[in-house]
Amino acid sequence: MDIHHFIGIDVSKNTLDWAVYANKGIIWQTQSENSPTAIRAVIKQLQALPDFDRSNCVVCMEHTGLVRHEVARFEYG
């Protein structure tokens, strides 16, 4: 698999901090609420990034128990 984008998510109870790394640095950052509606909005923004293809990206976040469940179970279809 040829990975083009690495997405890191810092999780807290109320917010998610997103960073997208490609090539040699961070190309995009944002913060959202930790809710399905806000996650959906960020996913739309991610898909608008140049050359973004969800099949060529990796998402990473820390294990924070129940706090991370909204983004961990989110369906990107």
SS3 sequence of 2-62: CCCEEEEEEECCCEEEEEEEECCEEEEEEEEECCHHHHHHHHHHHHCCCCCCHHHEEEEEC
Q: What is the pTM of this model?
A: 0.84
| pLDDT tens, residue by residue, 10-23 | 988 899 999 999 98
In a domain, 22, yes or no: yes
State how far the Cα of 37 lies from the Cα of 3, in Å rounded to an integer: 27
Considering its fold, how many domains does the chain have in total?
A: 1
Which residues constitute the domain of residue 50? 5-72
User: At 46, which CATH number?
Assistant: 3.30.420.300
Spatial contact of 11 and 71, defined as CB atoms under 8 Å apart: yes
Q: What pLDDT does residue 12 have? A: 87
Q: Using the predicted structure, report yes or no on whether residue 69 has a pLDDT greater than 80.
A: no
**pLDDT band at 62, cuts 50/70/90?**
confident
Could you give phi then psi for residue 74, rounded to 5 degrees? -65, 135
Higher pLDDT, 40 or 66: 40
The pLDDT assigned to 65 comes to 72
